[in-house]
Structure 1
Amino acid sequence: MANYGLIGRLQAQPGKGNELAEILLEASRLMENAAGCKQYMVALLEDDADAVQIIEVWDSREDHDNSLAYPGVKELIGRAMPLLSGSPKTGIHLSVLGGHGLNK
């Protein structure tokens, strides 16, 4: 059975990319214990330091959706939203078949 994957990109206001990335790294630490989370990676784009890429792999889409109610997540979302340069765009949804590092 394929895992659920999500690739998202958040655009921070000018000069706020590192601050946004730090908040998302806090989220990644929360997700270490979230049910079904196999991977939560945060990266800055090399050609745009205010664009933050998030790559997630979950056992299921339901596990991902449930993670939004995980303790502390709403607080992090509240801190991140004012840093964005616009509304978050819909991410790319994937059926992840496998690969290195997904054996959690």
Structure 2
Amino acid sequence: MNKYGLHGKLQATAGKGAYLAQILLEASKLVSTAIGCRLYLVSQDSSNPDAVWVTEVWDSKEDHDNSLQVPGVRELISQAMPLLAGRPEKGQELEVLGGTGLEVELAHIS
């Protein structure tokens, strides 16, 4: 069975990339409890510290959409929005065909 994937970049205002990444890492903890969440990976661009990438894998698009109802997720979204340097670009929607995974847990960004 194929999975639903998303991959996208969020550009923070100057100097706010680490704070945005922290908020997204908190979001990853919340959505890890959501039905169908297989991966929620937060990465910082090595050439642009204010660019934060999010890669997600879900059992279905419906599971992803339902994750917005997880308690606390909308609050984190409202904290992140003022940090963005503009409207978020639409991420790439992917049909995940397979591969291997590694469980990743990041405690914090220093």
Q: Considering the TM-score relative to the shorter chain, is it more than 0.5? A: yes
- Pairing 1:3-22 to 2, within 5 Å after superposition: 3-22=3-22
Q: TM-score, normalised by structure 2?
A: 0.90
Deviation of the 1:101 alpha carbon:
1.6
Q: Deviations over 1:19-48 (max 9, x none)?
A: 000000000011111100000000000110
Unaligned runs of 5+ in 1: none
Structure 1 residue aligned with 2:45:
45
Matched, 1:86 2:91: no
1:75 alignment counterpart: 75
How many angstroms apart in 2 are the aligned matches of 1:24 and 1:81?
11
The corresponding residue for 1:58 is 58
2:36 counterpart residue number: 36
Percent identity between the aligned chains?
Answer: 59
Moved over 3 A (4+): none
Distance 1:38 1:72 in 2: 19
**5+ long unaligned stretches in structure 2:** 104-110
Displacement after TM superposition at 1:102 (Å): 7.4
Check conservation: 1:37, 1:63, Cα contact below 8 A: yes
TM-score normalised by the chain length of structure 1: 0.96
Equivalent-residue separation in structure 2 for 1:63 and 1:102 (angstroms): 21
Aligned length: 103
